[in-house]
Copies of this chain bind each other. A is one copy, B any other.
Amino acid sequence: MRLMTTNTPPIITILTDFGTNDGYVGTMKGVILGILPHAQIVDITNQIQPQNILQAASVLSDAYRYFPPETVHLVVVDPGVGSARDPIALETPSGIFVAPDNGVLTYVRLEAESFHAVKLDNPDYWLPTPSSTFHGRDIFSPAAAHLASGVPIAKMGSVRADVTILPLPQITITPTTIQGEAIRIDHFGNVLTNIAYFHWVDDDTLELQPTYQQNEVTAPIRIKAADVQVTAGWHTLTGIYRTYSDVAPGQHVALIGSRGELEVSLNQGNASETMSIRVGAPVTIQLS
């Protein structure tokens, strides 16, 4: 159960592929404020590539844990709007999520220690007469506002046993290599990979934790950061570093990013462009 502190405004985040040219997101905020005028509304991003469910899932995974756990996260990347896919809500110890059930909550669901899911089939918490093309406005936004105002998730609709989980790109481990792939290019051109959940054990040593992204890993793997080579596209980089400016401006660098993932970057430049690396490109750590 959540306790609502009276002086703390409820927080709703928004993550969509709606762009910012059309007023679609503004309209959703109007609906939210009509129900919950003092909501704290935060855009995570509205620039997900149209219909790119996995990109949205990944961006959400980076962001949601930094919000208070009573936050409601409204996620509308919904190529199947108006079709048979269900609108759902998912409550976890780290946040409440409102989204179409198309896999956009894959990481959230895998990362949750426990969860409750419902189908948003109670029309009391929709706008009247929803359209078939804009459930973000007509179903998801009012549901998020009602949840943020304290309505229990059980009232929003019928219980679901689970939600859709999409297959994620997995890493391959041999005695001499860890192979993954580029899963996102950020605004700076940094190449983010699925070789993730590293942390620094000491100044020189990295440890890779087994997670759902590493289906062959059973125990933590330790590597000496200075000794490995990282291959991405035509480039091979020696060593894994801590930050961009550990190399000179204009130099490529492999490093551990802010959520523990292997990242390939160009200090003060755009590595994705200079290395011609796109999402899906293989990235390999040579261990010896």
Contacts and interface: CB of A to CB of B under 8 A. Distances in A.
Interface string A266-279: 01101000000000
A37 to B, nearest CB: 4
A243 B132 contact: yes
A22 B211 CA distance: 23
Contact of A244 (B20, B66, B71, B79): B79
Contacts of A245: 79-83
Contact of A26 (B63, B80, B83): B63
Given A40-B37, A81-B244, A187-B50, A71 B30 contact: yes
Interface in A171-192: 184, 186-188
Contacts of A132: 242-243, 255-256
Contacts of A15: 23, 26
A170 B172 CA distance: 57
Contacts of A83: 243, 245-246
Contacts of A256: 132-133
Contacts of A50: 187-188, 268, 270
Tell me if A's interface is mostly helix, strand, loop or mixed. Answer: loop
Interface stretch (A6-14, A144-152, A153-161, A229-237): A6-14
A51 B246 CA distance: 16
A184 B19 CA distance: 15
Contacts of A7: 38
Contacts of A22: 45, 59, 62, 184, 186-187
Most buried by B among A21, A46, A50, A137: A21
Contacts of A267: 79
Contacts of A51: 268
A252 interface: no
Most buried by B among A11, A80, A245: A245
A43 B19 CA distance: 12
B242 A21 contact: no
A193 to B, nearest CB: 14
A208 interface: no
B9 A26 contact: no
A42 interface: yes
A258 B263 CA distance: 41
Interface string A34-69: 100110111111111011000000011011101110
Given A22-B59, A37-B68, A50-B270, 5 more contacts: A22-B186, A23-B44, A26-B45, A26-B63, A83-B246
